[in-house]
């Protein structure tokens, strides 16, 4: 702390005034500094609130994206299962149709074999009949 020189009837007025001016200047500088810091604090608090809001928005967006992802996975899994089930049904139907077609083909083959046997018998009978006719013609006199 400053010490003042003594003068007639107290301290020297110039020194006291200079000290008071210095104190006032320092107090004014402190007040300006505090106002600047208060303004900066207010700005930083607003920015902090803005970032907190952004964080909350991002968290909500993340939850929505996670839910959408889970739903997409569930739908894909269900569609995959449906495709597998449909493929199994189609495979079963195709196998059944193939079995039916194979049975029809087998039956047709058996019918053709029987017809072939019948045709051969008839052809043989017809040829034998013609041979008998030829034999008879040899015995006939012309």
Q: Report the alpha-carbon distance of residue 120 to residue 127 in Å, rounded.
A: 10
Tens-place pLDDT, residues 44-62: 999 999 999 999 999 999 9
Per-residue pLDDT at 4 exceeds 70: no
Q: Dump pLDDT digits (tens) for 85-114.
A: 999 999 999 999 999 999 999 999 999 999
Per-residue confidence (pLDDT) for residue 137, from 0 to 100: 84
Selection from 39, 60, 61 nearest residue 47 by Cα:
39
Q: What is the mean pLDDT of residues 107-134?
A: 94
Average pLDDT over residues 17-36: 94
Query: Strand pairing partners for 10?
Result: 7
**pLDDT > 70 in the chain, percent:** 92
Pairing of strands 10-11, 6-7: antiparallel
Sorting pLDDT into bands at 50, 70 and 90, what band is 32? very high
CA 40, CA 42: separation in Å to the nearest integer? 5
């Amino acid at each position: 702390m400053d010490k003042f020189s003594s003068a007639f009837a107290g301290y020297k007025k110039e020194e006291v005034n200079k000290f008071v001016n210095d104190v006032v200047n320092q107090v004014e500088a402190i007040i300006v500094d505090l106002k600047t810091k208060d303004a900066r604090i207010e700005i930083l608090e607003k920015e902090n609130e803005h970032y907190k809001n952004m964080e909350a928005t991002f968290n909500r967006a993340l939850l929505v994206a996670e839910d959408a992802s889970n739903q997409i996975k569930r739908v894909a899994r269900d569609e995959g299962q449906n495709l597998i089930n449909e493929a199994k049904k189609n495979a079963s139907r195709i196998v059944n149709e193939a079995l039916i077609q194979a049975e029809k083909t087998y039956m047709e083959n058996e019918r053709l074999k029987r017809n072939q046997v019948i045709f051969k018998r008839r052809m043989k009978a017809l040829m034998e009949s013609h041979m008998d006719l030829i034999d008879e013609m040899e015995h006939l006199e012309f």
